[in-house]
Amino acid sequence: MNIHEYQAKALFEKFGVPVPKGVAAKSPLEFEAALAQLPDAPVVVKSQIHAGGRGKGTFTDGFKGGVKFAKTKTDALDYANKMFGNTLVTAQTGAAGRKVQTVYFTQASDIKKEYYLAILLDRASSRPVIVASTEGGVEIEKVAHDTPEKIFKIVIDPAYGLADFQIRDLIARLGFAGNEAKNAAKLIRSLYACYWETDAAMIEVNPLITTPTGEVLALDAKVSFDSNALYRHPEIIALRDLNEEDPKEIEASKYALSYIALDGNIACLVNGAGLAMSTMDIIQHFGGSPANFLDVGGGASKDQVVAAFKIILGDPNVKGILVNIFGGIMDCNVIATGIVEAVKEVGLKLPLVVRLEGNNVAAGKATLANSGLTIVSGDTMADAAQKIVKLVA
Ligand code: ADP
Ligand code: MG
């Protein structure tokens, strides 16, 4: 689960990570009151969307920059009105962009230097890792590619936690000295506590900055959490912003379906995550392109299948559907009955290929055959994939 920058910064403050003062507004009616809470000094106006690269982004109406420096509060108000309700396209949003529904006003900081600092789970070592660089602010992927020696990694023993010598090492490698070093050490320790105690999956601060007076501040904040641990953090679940999530994915979660929207035109309905992955692979293998990942689980009910069809058809790009079921726990006839009901209920006009195998498959196939509906049967995965790819071509 992702949260907004303004929420992440509030969380940072709880853990003692210094951030510039800021106020979020969820409606233009709140803009003036929000600005009134900041000192009479330059303000940075920041679009709140769950995607990075906002500073270099462009709105669909041509307005440039999802992060704007405003010399005066009058300018800040003007920028906020241009951003709010407008759709911001960045390198991370995809072409459709994201509608800005919250604006964050933050005190402009005097930047001496920008750094990069992130804490995330390293899957290779199964440990938390701190990734840092003196080359912050710009795209870190580019630094990693062109000058990998400028990126430092510190792997943390989760049983011991972040050790003092590791912090000293990091501080030295980033070139901090004196007051900056002291403040940076404190910030890194607090940020690690935040990562650990909230069960975060990733915390990214880009840029982390120093100021001419020796302060060290988190100027940007991107935080995501491990969804498997959310049950023990109700205060974090409360930060969820459904505006930022695909409505189809929200609907799917209500029916305990694992659905992830993709860019292709062949919708898949599969039981089991592994089979769902290989179904997407085989569609690609035969020259097609999957519209989604959808796992109905090991023991889906008829209602879930009907819900799954409706969700799939909510995607206007879908030109055909491939159902691929291996009945282990699942009774193929339950799926078949669900399919027939769903097709009738939604009045399906698109080509549908179904491949059933396993538990009670004969009854399942009979249900499909006797339904009077145009359902193409696939004998094997390869056969079914080839058929649906041909039908949507
Ligand atoms: P994004 O990464 O989505 O583009 P950032 O919050 O990193 O958004 O903002 C982009 C750039 O804007 C930063 O690299 C920084 O140079 C500048 N910036 C952001 N917040 C402030 C601030 N409070 N004061 C001064 N400059 C800022
Ligand atoms: Mg940034």
Ligand 1 atom nearest residue 55's Cα: 4
In-domain check, residue 4: no
Ligand 1: which residue has its CA nearest to atom 11?
Answer: 55
Q: What pLDDT band is residue 245 in, cutting at 50, 70 and 90?
A: confident
Please tell me whether residues 221 and 258 are part of one structural domain. no
Please tell me whether residues 138 and 222 are part of one structural domain. yes
pLDDT exceeds cutoff 80 at 8: yes
Please tell me whether residues 308 and 209 are part of one structural domain. no
In-domain check, residue 308: yes
In-domain check, residue 165: yes
- Domain span holding position 127: 113-237
3-state secondary structure of 25: strand
β-pairing verdict for 376-377 and 352-358: parallel
| CA–centroid distance, residue 332 to ligand 1 (Å) | 54
Q: Which ligand is nearest to the CA of 46?
A: 1
Last residue of a domain, one of 90, 107, 124: 107
Q: Which ligand is nearest to the CA of 111?
A: 1
In-domain check, residue 349: yes
| CA–centroid distance, residue 137 to ligand 2 (Å) | 6
Compute the chain's Rg from CA coordinates.
25
Torsion angles phi and psi, residue 92, rounded to 5: -105, -5
In-domain check, residue 3: no
Give 32-84 pLDDT, tens digit per residue.
Answer: 999 999 999 999 999 999 999 999 999 999 999 999 999 999 999 999 999 99
pLDDT exceeds cutoff 80 at 356: yes
| CA–centroid distance, residue 235 to ligand 2 (Å) | 25
**Under 8 Å between Cβ of 373 and 340:** yes
For residue 159, the one-letter residue type is A
Predicted confidence at residue 137, as pLDDT, reads 86
| Best mutation site among 59, 71, 114, 219 for ligand 1 pocket (most ligand atoms within 8 Å of CB) | 219
Angle between helices 164-174 and 178-197 (to 10 degrees): 130
Please tell me whether residues 125 and 82 are part of one structural domain. no
Predicted confidence at residue 159, as pLDDT, reads 95
Give 269-298 pLDDT, tens digit per residue.
Answer: 998 899 999 999 999 999 999 999 999 887
CATH code, 79: 3.30.1490.20
Predicted confidence at residue 350, as pLDDT, reads 93
Ligand 1: which residue has its CA nearest to atom 14?
Answer: 137
In-domain check, residue 167: yes
Bridge partners, 31 (sequence order): none
Predicted confidence at residue 327, as pLDDT, reads 85
Q: Which ligand is nearest to the CA of 115?
A: 1
Please tell me whether residues 103 and 122 are part of one structural domain. no
Total domains, the chain: 3
Ligand 1: which residue has its CA nearest to atom 16?
Answer: 137
Tokens linked to 118: 């992130």
Distance from chain centroid for Cα 262: 13
Predicted confidence at residue 131, as pLDDT, reads 96
Ligand 1: which residue has its CA nearest to atom 6?
Answer: 220
Please tell me whether residues 232 and 171 are part of one structural domain. yes
Ligand 1 atom nearest residue 52's Cα: 3
| CA–centroid distance, residue 46 to ligand 1 (Å) | 8
| CA–centroid distance, residue 221 to ligand 2 (Å) | 7
Please tell me whether residues 151 and 35 are part of one structural domain. no
In-domain check, residue 168: yes
Ligand 1 atom nearest residue 22's Cα: 23
Please tell me whether residues 261 and 214 are part of one structural domain. no
Please tell me whether residues 346 and 263 are part of one structural domain. yes
Please tell me whether residues 214 and 339 are part of one structural domain. no
In-domain check, residue 326: yes
Please tell me whether residues 277 and 371 are part of one structural domain. yes
**Rounded Cα distance, 142 and 124, in Å:** 22
CATH code, 225: 3.30.470.20
CATH code, 257: 3.40.50.261
| CA–centroid distance, residue 90 to ligand 1 (Å) | 14
Bridge partners, 260 (sequence order): 293
Please tell me whether residues 364 and 320 are part of one structural domain. yes
Give 193-223 pLDDT, tens digit per residue.
Answer: 999 999 999 999 999 999 999 999 999 999 9
Ligand 1: which residue has its CA nearest to atom 23?
Answer: 108
Angle between helices 332-346 and 302-313 (to 10 degrees): 40
Average pLDDT over residues 217-230: 95
Last residue of a domain, one of 218, 237, 256: 237
Percent of the chain with pLDDT over 90: 80
| Best mutation site among 67, 89, 107 for ligand 1 pocket (most ligand atoms within 8 Å of CB) | 67
Ligand 1: which residue has its CA nearest to atom 13?
Answer: 137
| Best mutation site among 44, 104, 211, 217 for ligand 1 pocket (most ligand atoms within 8 Å of CB) | 44
Q: Looking at 34-48, 180-194, 247-261, which range is the least confident one?
A: 247-261
Catalytic residues: 116, 204
Last residue of a domain, one of 107, 131, 163: 107
- The number of C-alpha atoms within 13 Å of 67 and in the hemisphere containing its C-beta is 16
- The ligand 1 site (C-beta within 6 Å) comprises 20, 44, 46, 52-55, 67, 106, 108-109, 111, 114, 137, 206-207, 219-220
| CA–centroid distance, residue 59 to ligand 1 (Å) | 17
